[in-house]
Amino acid sequence: MGIAFLDMLTEWLLPQMNEDSADFILQMDGAPPHFHRHVREFLNQHLRQRWIGRGTDDDQMLLAWPPRSPDATPCDFFLWD
């Protein structure tokens, strides 16, 4: 599942996002495909400090997804009032 999600990111989502604007933040929840090692390596390389999600101490994410909080939106805490 992680490799399929990575393919979707690289082949469809990120090209679409970059076409609209190069200034975006990718937010993902803690689903297992989003936490796949290859997905996090790709995000650390191509979207350093521009992604929100579940990660490790070595990851270059903007903000960690709150553990066990599927309905909490991290953007509520820092992007708007």
Tens-place pLDDT, residues 54-69: 899 999 999 887 766 6
Pairwise CA distance, residues 79 & 81, whole Å: 7
Tens-place pLDDT, residues 16-56: 998 998 889 998 887 889 899 999 999 999 999 999 888 99
pTM: 0.78
Tokens 């521009």 sit on residue: 50
Pairwise CA distance, residues 57 & 81, whole Å: 28
Count of CB atoms within 10 A of residue 16's CB? 8
Inter-CA distances, 20 with 9, 47, 74, 77, Å: 15, 16, 23, 25
